[in-house]
Amino acid sequence: MSQQSQEQYQFIESILRQNLGEIGTIEDFQFFYGGNFNLAVRVKVAQGEYFIKWNQGDHQGLFQAEAKNLGLIASTGTIPVPQVLGVGQMDEKEYLVMECIPTAEKKENYWSDFGIKLAQLHQTNAHQGHGLDYDNFIGAAKQVNHWDKNGVSFFIQNRLKFQVDTASYHRKIDGATNEAFEKLYDKIPSIIPNEQSALLHGDLWSGNAMVNQHGLVSLVDPSCYYGLREAEIAFTTMFGGFEKEFYEAYHESFPILKGFHERIPLYNLYPLMVHVNLFGEGYLPAVNKILDSYLN
Ligand code: ADP
């Protein structure tokens, strides 16, 4: 074993000991380099199999927020998520230990079951309205969640404006794009229906929907908040990969309001602006095209 893997091995062992007590020897482990800044490992010991993620000491509080998000979804009993076993710090790195999801073949009703369970999650709401008790992250980007009774103004202020202002501050968008957003904010209340708040996963692309040992969905990597459920359904269409049975079952359980398809690009300005902030200007043409389509 190279010195580097020896160190990583010891690092993983120490995290497991800190959270599970005496663990015996590591029987198997496999690295994941899925995310853009986290490292992860799937590790097997006598007690069972675990999934550990850690970062390099930046993005402080990210895993505490992720652990709370997972706990929040779990508390609804609607859609499965891995159980959190520990969150903490080791060698100046923050980590999250959770139950490992053993994957299996998708059951035939995977997508319809997923649609029904997501509709159930979305029927969980908060008396405070839209927001959350703490800020969290979407990918590596900060996500602010200041409570607002009005879902549309929450979406404008906490989702679009925060990302647009961040991009403006870092000179990733020019004055014209900024002005176009300002005009859009005035128009949005006449386009988006102000529905009751719904508990959202918040980062629902296909990579965060796993197939568990029952052949059914388990969600990972949530960026939860109580918000407009249409924003979540729109999000699933950004990169695709969700089957039509998913949308049909969702709609049957919790009907989506008329005109949703015309609103999808508007909701997706949020993940697109997050991408502008995280990965750069390559996403700007898509942003400007959407702005034009609503303003002209
Ligand atoms: P990041 O926050 O770095 O994007 P994710 O939480 O999305 O990391 O995890 C990256 C990949 O690792 C996922 O797409 C999934 O394949 C796998 N994964 C995540 N959580 C688990 C888990 N609890 N058990 C097994 N595999 C997992």
Residue 101, pLDDT score: 96
The minimum-distance atom of ligand 1 relative to the CA of 37 is 3
Structure tokens, 86 = 């520990």
82 lines ligand 1 (CB under 6 A): yes
**Residues 37-53: tens digit of each pLDDT:** 678 999 999 889 999 99
Catalytic residue (one of 28, 148, 186, 203): 203
User: What is the mean predicted confidence (pLDDT) over 265-288?
Assistant: 97
The residues, ordered by sequence, that sit 6+ positions from 272 with a Cβ below 8 Å of its Cβ are 283, 286, 287, 290
Percent of the chain with pLDDT over 90: 85
100 lines ligand 1 (CB under 6 A): yes
**Do 81 and 222 form a contact (C-beta atoms < 8 A)?**
yes
Rounded to 5°, angle at Cα 38 from 20 and 168: 140
211 lines ligand 1 (CB under 6 A): no
The residue to mutate among 30, 31, 32, having the most atoms of ligand 1 within 8 angstroms of its beta carbon, is 32
187: left (phi over 0), alpha (psi -120 to 50) or beta: alpha
The minimum-distance atom of ligand 1 relative to the CA of 101 is 24
Residue 96, pLDDT score: 96
212 lines ligand 1 (CB under 6 A): no
From 26-30, 173-177, 182-186, 188-192, the region with the lowest mean pLDDT: 26-30
HEC profile for the chain?
Answer: CCHHHHHHHHHHHHHHHHHHCCCCCCCEEEEECCCCCCEEEEEEECCEEEEEEECCCCCCCHHHHHHHHHHHHHHHCCCCCCCEEEEEEECCEEEEEEECCCCCCCCCCHHHHHHHHHHHHHCCCCCCCEECCCCEEECCEEECCCCECCHHHHHHHHHHHHHHHHHHHCCCCCHHHHHHHHHHHHHHHHCCCCCCCEEECCCCCHHHEEECCCCCEEECCCCCEEECHHHHHHHHCCCCCCCHHHHHHHHHHCCCCCCHHHHHHHHCHHHHHHHHHHHCHHHHHHHHHHHHHHHC
**Residues 105-147: tens digit of each pLDDT:** 999 999 999 999 999 999 999 999 999 999 999 999 999 999 9
In order of their start, the domains of the chain are 3-99 (3.30.200.20), 110-295 (3.90.1200.10)
Does residue 203 have an active-site annotation? yes
Residue type, 54: W
221 lines ligand 1 (CB under 6 A): yes
148 lines ligand 1 (CB under 6 A): no
First-to-last CA distance in the chain?
62
The minimum-distance atom of ligand 1 relative to the CA of 34 is 10
Say how many Å lie between the CA of residue 95 and the centre of ligand 1. Answer: 13
Residue 3, pLDDT score: 73
pLDDT exceeds 90 at position 231: yes
Residue 91, pLDDT score: 87
Say how many Å lie between the CA of residue 256 and the centre of ligand 1. Answer: 29
98 lines ligand 1 (CB under 6 A): yes
The residue to mutate among 49, 101, 221, 223, having the most atoms of ligand 1 within 8 angstroms of its beta carbon, is 221
